């Protein structure tokens, strides 16, 4: 299974979606900072599962229509930062989709995630991640789950990884940094968080029109561990 995550930088990179899908042949495409009124219903064989409608800078998830069927879609709100309260760029920062893999006959959960910007504290972003993982668990208890997106977490990633593992998930960074626009803010921003998946690799793709580089996650559903996001430990 191949999943691409891409922050479109206020929708500027939307024109690249068809060529991106053609070049890398993903099964799922997860977007951040897209305009839900300006994205197509299909992109190179990928069908739009849902796009958030209450966001100025929204989320969207596409899936390969000949291999998967969308069973459930949920847009989720998380704790707001001051940036969100004042400028209101995003009411919903998580968009989860429960998919049926038609050939394998099994269900999975995939989500697009966009954490609060760097003006917020890491503690708030950890709270958002924790909430997102708990809510995705509710979408499909015991199902393999993969959340990809812009985590806005360039420093202290080791601490975040430990907190995520306490929830039963694994945090995977890509093989190269994903944000390069400003010298002092360069680094890894776009991650993959998973449970019940064997992550074979997370690759940073070439720079396009966005200030973020896309990432390509290659993963296979495995066995979900007994520890789950409904555990009392938090991020």
Q: Does the CA dihedral 125-129-132-138 come out positive or negative?
A: negative
Q: Give the confidence band of 229 by pLDDT, cuts at 50, 70, 90.
A: very low
DSSP string, 28-81: EEEEEEE-TTSS-SEETTEEEEEE-SS-SSEEEEEEETTTEEEEEEEEE--PPP
Q: Where are the domains of the chain?
A: 2-221
pLDDT tens digits along 86-108: 455 556 899 999 999 999 999 99
- Give the model's pLDDT for residue 222: 82
- Give the model's pLDDT for residue 89: 52
The CATH class that applies to domain 2-221 reads: alpha beta
Q: What is the mean pLDDT of residues 14-28?
A: 97
CA distance linking residue 12 with residue 154, whole number of Å: 23
Overall pTM surpassing 0.75 (yes/no): yes
- Measured at the alpha carbon of residue 154, what is the angle toward residues 153 and 155, in degrees to the nearest 5? 100
The length of the chain, given as a count of residues: 235
pLDDT tens digits along 183-212: 666 788 899 999 999 999 999 999 999 999
Pairing of strands 215-221, 197-204: antiparallel
- Give the model's pLDDT for residue 225: 61
């Amino acid at each position: 299974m191949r999943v691409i995550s891409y922050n479109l930088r206020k929708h500027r990179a939307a024109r690249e979606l068809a060529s991106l899908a053609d070049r890398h042949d993903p099964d799922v495409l997860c977007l951040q900072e897209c305009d839900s009124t300006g994205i197509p219903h299909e992109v190179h064989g990928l069908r739009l599962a849902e796009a958030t409608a209450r966001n100025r800078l929204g989320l969207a998830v596409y899936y390969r229509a000949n291999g998967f069927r969308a069973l459930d879609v949920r847009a989720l709100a998380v704790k707001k930062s001051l940036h969100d309260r004042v400028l209101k760029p995003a009411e919903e920062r998580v968009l989860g989709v429960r998919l049926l893999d038609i050939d394998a006959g099994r269900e999975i959960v995939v989500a697009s995630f966009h954490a609060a910007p760097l003006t917020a504290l890491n503690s708030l972003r950890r709270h958002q991640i924790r909430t997102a993982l708990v809510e995705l668990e509710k979408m499909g208890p015991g199902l393999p789950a993969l959340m990809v997106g812009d985590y806005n977490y360039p420093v202290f990633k080791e601490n975040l990884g430990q907190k995520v593992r306490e929830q039963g998930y694994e945090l995977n960074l890509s093989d190269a940094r994903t944000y390069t626009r400003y010298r002092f803010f360069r680094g890894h921003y776009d991650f993959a968080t998973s449970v019940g998946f064997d992550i074979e690799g997370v690759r940073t793709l070439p720079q396009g029109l966005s200030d973020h580089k896309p990432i390509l996650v290659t993963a296979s559903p495995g066995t979900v561990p007994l520890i789950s996001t409904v555990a009392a430990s938090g991020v």
